[in-house]
C-alpha cells in the first residue's frame, strides 16, 4: 500500500479557513466578558476545528480517512453559520459583519463539499 502524503498548504480551502479563524478571533474580542466561556469559546473552537481537521486529514494514509476529516471540518463550518446568526441576533455583531462571515462560512462548506466529492 502506498501512502499519500498531502501538504495542507496546497489546499486553498485550508488558507480560506485559516483566515476565517483569524477573523473569528478578532470579532469575538469585542463580545461581552460574560460570553467568554460560552459563545466566544464555542465560536473559536468551531472555527479553528475547520483548518485543524483539514491538517489532520492530510496526515492520514487513505482518501477514505482524509474524507472523514473533511466531513468533520464541514460540520464545524456549518456550526459556525449558526453561531454567527446567534451573535448577530444577540447584538454582538452587525448585520454587515454577519453577512461577510456567513458568506465565508458558506463558501467553506461548498468548497469542502466539492473536495469530498472528488475523493
CA pair distance 78, 45, nearest whole angstrom = 13
Average pLDDT over residues 14-30: 98
pLDDT at 17: 98
Q: Residues 26-66: pLDDT tens digits?
A: 999 999 999 999 999 999 999 999 999 999 999 999 999 99
Per-residue pLDDT averaged across 62-79, rounded? Answer: 97
Residue 1 has pLDDT above 60, yes or no: no
What are the cell numbers at 7? 501538504
CATH for 9-118 is 1.20.1440.60
- pLDDT (0 to 100) of residue 26: 98
2 vs 109 pLDDT, higher one: 109
Retrieve residue 90's grid coordinates. Answer: 444577540
Mean pLDDT of 14-32: 98
pLDDT digits (tens, 9 = 90+) for 86-107: 999 999 999 999 999 999 999 9
Three-state SS across 57-116? Answer: HHCCCCHHHHHHHHHHHHHHHHHHHHHHHHHHHCCCCCHHHHHHHHHHHHHHHHHHHHHH
Is 12 a residue whose pLDDT tops 60? yes
Parse the chain into domains and list their residue ranges. 9-118
Under 8 Å between Cβ of 70 and 116:
yes
C-alpha cell at 77: 463550518
pLDDT surpasses 70 at 75: yes
Query: Cβ distance 104 to 20 under 8 Å?
Result: yes
Instruction: Give the model's pLDDT for residue 5.
Output: 79
Amino acid at each position: 500500500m502506498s501512502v499519500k502524503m498531502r501538504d495542507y498548504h496546497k489546499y486553498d480551502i485550508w488558507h480560506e479557513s485559516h483566515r476565517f479563524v483569524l477573523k473569528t478571533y478578532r470579532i469575538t474580542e469585542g463580545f461581552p466578558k460574560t460570553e467568554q466561556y460560552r459563545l466566544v469559546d464555542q465560536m473559536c473552537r468551531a472555527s479553528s476545528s475547520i483548518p485543524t481537521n483539514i491538517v489532520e486529514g492530510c496526515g492520514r494514509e487513505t482518501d477514505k480517512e482524509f474524507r472523514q476529516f473533511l466531513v468533520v471540518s464541514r460540520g464545524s463550518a456549518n456550526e459556525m453559520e449558526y453561531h454567527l446568526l446567534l451573535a448577530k441576533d444577540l447584538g454582538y455583531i452587525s448585520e454587515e459583519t454577519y453577512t461577510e462571515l456567513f458568506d465565508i462560512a458558506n463558501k467553506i462548506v461548498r468548497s469542502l463539499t466539492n473536495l469530498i466529492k472528488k475523493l
